[in-house]
Structure 1
Amino acid sequence: MPPLPDLVVGAFLALLGVLVSQLVAMIQARLEREHKRDVLLRTKYEELGAHFLESMKLPHTLMTAESTEDILALTHQASGNHAHLLAMIYFPRLRESTGKYIESYSQLCLAAAELHNPDDKRPLGMQVFDKPSYISARNAHIAARDFLQEQIERYADTYAKS
């Protein structure tokens, strides 16, 4: 029969081996979860950026509208709303700037719609381009757009890790 200290040392080493293997497995699982989270955030950040870029086309399209129906159809900003939804779920630092961006587009549409003359057959942009209320709404929208773009660039390293 082996001496008692050898049994204790052997048992201790066996327990230590089990502990180390469990610890390594836990660390690997945690690293895998963090990696999956980083991949998800990067994917969602790219999606947010794509929606933002798509939404940037709306003001130009609005200016080419020729009827009240065209204007009303362009008030629904699906791409901007998708970007805001992604910010609400995944990117808390962008919530305020995406919210201001979609609100500024709504104000732009409202200002343009109020100035629209259905009897004037020119595109909306030609009807409103020199009106102070439109210019003010346009400038506010451009400022909100530029600020959101700056925020997306600023937080890219945080949310879209490689």
Structure 2
Amino acid sequence: MEQVLDALPDTPQQLGAATTDHCLRNAAFEGEPPGPLNCQWRTDRYVVFDGDLRAAAEEWGKALNSNQWVSSEESFPPEWREYRNPRTHDRLVIRMVQDGSEVPRLVAAPRFEGAEEYKRERRDFTGQKEAAQAVAEGRRVARISLVHAYYRQDGQPPFEPQWW
């Protein structure tokens, strides 16, 4: 995560962090057995930055693409970017907000529909008030999430990490 933050232009100010270590299993569906247990951890950094959201998203994208991360082929709005590391299969998801009403969505935990979730460890972000204050002052806030899959129950390589 430090390499990712160091690669970003204009060095955003860090607000705080959150971490989650959990395992997921696709639930049984229409008579099929449930899928194998797959474990992953996610670390989130919350940062404050100035300037135009679209311009920052473009600058950050260029910096990350030149630093081992490949942008997703899917078309996301500029405030939501996703990258993959082809060597490690890690996923990097960036969510930016510029409106106070969006701050609660920034700190909301991802939901895994159709999967059973087993939480192993969790440390929540406690700077929601500071994030809202920064947005009220006209600044922008981003959550940068690094997700790494590390275990699969059946001995096969883990599934690609899931963020949402």
Same fold (TM over 0.5): no
- Higher-Rg structure is 1
Scaled by the length of structure 1, what TM-score is found? Answer: 0.31
Q: Under a length normalisation based on structure 2, what TM-score does the superposition of the two structures give?
A: 0.31
| Larger helix proportion of the pair | 1
